[in-house]
Structure 1
Amino acid sequence: MGLLQDLYDDEDAGLDQTARLRSVQAAFRPVPVDTTGWTSASASRAAAGVSGDLAEIVVAPDGRSATLTLGDVMGKGTPAGLLAANLLGALDALARENPAVAVEGAENAVRARFERASAFATLFHARVRLADGAVEFVDAGHGFAAIGHADGRTERIASVDLPIGLQPRGFARLPRHVDLGPGDVLVCASDGILELPDATFDTLTDLAARLVAVPTLTDGLAAFMASAPERVDDDLTLVALRREHGTAGRTTPDGPEGSTRR
């Protein structure tokens, strides 16, 4: 073990703690979606070195769906970051499950630790069917997701459930559904977006509208972050997923694409 320990010890590898922290944080950032007809992007800025936000966008191994997740642990800095990593790991272990089952299972896995830490987290967790844009999601006390439609309409997705760690045992959260048509964008933010100068919930829906029109989501989120202060009072994380034009659409049994249903 001595040789391995020397090889992987941060100081012996020439890494200071700040550099090592940055590399670990980078490993927790979403990897852009690379699949036909869909694009994604993310951006983040921590208030205190380590972010208490968790985010992920990942395509399933069978290529049929993508999962978009954004959560926000109360507080900031290293304590919040540790709990965020714990929650993200629990969700990763349940990646094959539908959002309602995954969120319930993850909450059961982290509940005791969150209770001992007197903490809670808000969470938006969605599965997108890539063939037709059908989205199933759970919003656990989050309320910072929005859709920008290709026809210029926007809608914010309000939360109807309690955060992770506060939902009573045995009470399942409500699975909900939306549809993304060609050109539509789903964007989710942490609540740090409201800490930006002059920000309101319209800031989120305005961003959704802008992301419909930008050449790339990466450019759109970069422009938004460039307009934000270098130092933020609360962790700020953004994730976005866009269904590109030219992908086939359909009409669902619940109504036409682009309609919100419960």
Structure 2
Amino acid sequence: MADRGQIQDDERLRRIEAVTDATLSRLDAADLFDELLDRVRDLLDVDTAAILLLDTHAQQLVATAARGLEEEVRQGFRVSVGRGFAGRIALTRQPVVIEEVTAGAVVNPILLAMGLRSLLGVPMLVRGELIGVLHVGTLRPRRFDADDVRLLELVADRASQANLARAHNLDHTAALALQRSLLPAQLPDVPGLDMAARYVPGHVAGIGGDWYDVFTLPSGWLGLVIGDVSGHGLQSAVIMGRVRSALRAYALVCDGPAEALTLLDRKIGHFEAGILTTALYAMVSPDRTRVRLSTAGHLPPVLAVPGLPGTPVPVRVDPPLGTSRRPPRRQHTEVGLPPGAVLVCFTDGLVERRREVIDVGLAKLAEAVRPAPAEEVCDTVMRAVGAEQPTDDIAMLVVRRLPTPP
């Protein structure tokens, strides 16, 4: 009896190792689903295996991967939580065994048409949250035991982790595409001005909350925006898109930047509660001689005019957007933009460094900004502040008024 028990233990260990070996970690989610289903069919000696993932908005399980039940996936079979075999597993979040399949026990006609006799299913969980159901079936009567249930639960755990990785990759791809669509692919060609910009992600995922925007208003004024939405990833990218669109809309109906930021603050505080956002909104006059600007928790831009060193614009900083503090925003600050002058707008990632006070970075930036072509200013600033390996996202927008022709 001892030898038989040892043989059973060794067999159980082999079966567990078959679904947890290191080679599976190198597969993408779709291939991992297929590989796991192939292995579990062999290990449990079953005819079918299928994964149905939960559509949280519809509260339905959707056939996503299958072996022996490929038609279920091709038809995009769905079943509501609580209905039928898979729906009962999702509702109770407990394994379910059907030793004799009947029309009353299942609602999927494909299972009945195949002539399946016995079924075993387990929930797929991630951090206690249901994400789907994994089930197997046989064409002959079968009594699934506790070891079968534990093995299938182990497979379900591996499949759940794979789906989590897939969802993360999808979110990353979507966030990256969204962010790139929000940053101007090319700055507009504006008479009398020379412009350039840089964006450098400081997060390993390449997705941050820093952004900039440039647009021409019907009045002939030019809008310049640079902002920073707290956080990283898809949520920050989505909020960035909302903030950008809202500010463009408010810019059309407001005469000054302070008024536009006031409306934006109300919008963020109501619809994006808990999200902290900073923004600088500047407007360049149609004759390009002056700039009106207002800032909500954002660092002031640096202005360099011919013959003088670069200095921060003396603008009063209002509270960030989305905070509970909502005093009336100060009137905008207006500064001159002489021929050849350069205005550099930036996010804090350009000047903040670990173990270094921000004043050091601001001093380096001011010293590096000199009247020159906008692209040259960008390159000079990036080298001066050591932006090749940033610890935070960097966005920079440089606007230069072209020198007056002789």
Alignment partners' CA distance in 2, 1:74 and 1:20:
18
Alignment partners' CA distance in 1, 2:198 and 2:190:
20
Q: Per-residue deviation at 1:108?
A: 1.4
| 8 Å CA contact retained: 2:229, 2:240 | yes
Corresponding position: 1:145 with 2:306: no
Corresponding position: 1:160 with 2:317: yes
Q: Per-residue deviation at 1:239?
A: 0.4
Between 217-226 and 148-157, report the one with greater CA deviation.
217-226
Between 162-171 and 131-140, report the one with greater CA deviation.
162-171
2:269 maps to amino acid: R
| 8 Å CA contact retained: 2:175, 2:233 | no
Alignment partners' CA distance in 2, 1:233 and 1:135:
31
Corresponding position: 1:44 with 2:205: no
Alignment partners' CA distance in 2, 1:222 and 1:79:
31
Alignment partners' CA distance in 2, 1:204 and 1:93:
32
Q: Per-residue deviation at 1:226?
A: 5.7
TM-score (normalised: structure 1) = 0.76
Alignment partners' CA distance in 2, 1:106 and 1:229:
30
For residue 79 of structure 1, the aligned residue among 232, 235, 238 is 235
> What are the superposed Cα offsets for residues 183-206 of structure 1, whole Å, 9 maximum, x if unpaired?
001111100012358752112212
- Residues 94, 243 of structure 1: CA spacing in aligned structure 2 closer, same or farther, 3 A cutoff? same
Alignment partners' CA distance in 2, 1:220 and 1:170:
36
Q: Per-residue deviation at 1:172?
A: 2.8
Alignment partners' CA distance in 1, 2:395 and 2:379:
12
| 8 Å CA contact retained: 2:211, 2:227 | yes
Corresponding position: 1:100 with 2:264: no
Secondary structure at the counterpart of residue 262 of structure 2: helix
Q: Per-residue deviation at 1:18?
A: 6.2
For residue 181 of structure 1, the aligned residue among 318, 338, 341 is 338
Q: Per-residue deviation at 1:23?
A: 4.2
1:217 corresponds to: 374
- Residues 133, 192 of structure 1: CA spacing in aligned structure 2 closer, same or farther, 3 A cutoff? same
> What are the superposed Cα offsets for residues 58-91 of structure 1, whole Å, 9 maximum, x if unpaired?
22245x2211111112233333333222211110
Larger of the two Rg values belongs to structure: 2
Q: Per-residue deviation at 1:160?
A: 2.6
2:200 maps to amino acid: R
1:24 corresponds to: 178
Alignment partners' CA distance in 2, 1:43 and 1:148:
19
1:133 corresponds to: 289
> What are the superposed Cα offsets for residues 196-227 of structure 1, whole Å, 9 maximum, x if unpaired?
58752112212322xx12xx312431454466
Q: Tell me how large the CA RMSD over aligned residues is.
A: 2.6
Secondary structure at the counterpart of residue 94 of structure 1: helix
Alignment partners' CA distance in 1, 2:383 and 2:180:
19
| 8 Å CA contact retained: 1:43, 1:222 | no
Give the count of matched residue pairs.
226
1:188 maps to amino acid: C
Secondary structure at the counterpart of residue 299 of structure 2: coil
**How high is the sequence identity, in percent, across the aligned residues?**
24
2:361 maps to amino acid: T
2:260 maps to amino acid: A
| 8 Å CA contact retained: 1:59, 1:66 | yes
Corresponding position: 1:67 with 2:223: yes
Between 135-144 and 216-225, report the one with greater CA deviation.
216-225
- Residues 55, 156 of structure 1: CA spacing in aligned structure 2 closer, same or farther, 3 A cutoff? same
Q: Per-residue deviation at 1:22?
A: 4.4
Provide runs of 4+ in structure 1 moved above 4 Å.
16-23, 196-199
TM-score (normalised: structure 2) = 0.51
Q: Per-residue deviation at 1:170?
A: 5.2
| 8 Å CA contact retained: 2:377, 2:398 | no
Listed as ranges, the gaps of 5+ residues in structure 1 are 1-15, 249-262
1:66 maps to amino acid: L
Alignment partners' CA distance in 2, 1:144 and 1:170:
20
| 8 Å CA contact retained: 2:247, 2:261 | yes
Between 229-238 and 99-108, report the one with greater CA deviation.
229-238
Alignment partners' CA distance in 2, 1:229 and 1:100:
31
1:254 corresponds to: none
Alignment partners' CA distance in 2, 1:143 and 1:200:
12
Q: Per-residue deviation at 1:164?
A: 0.7
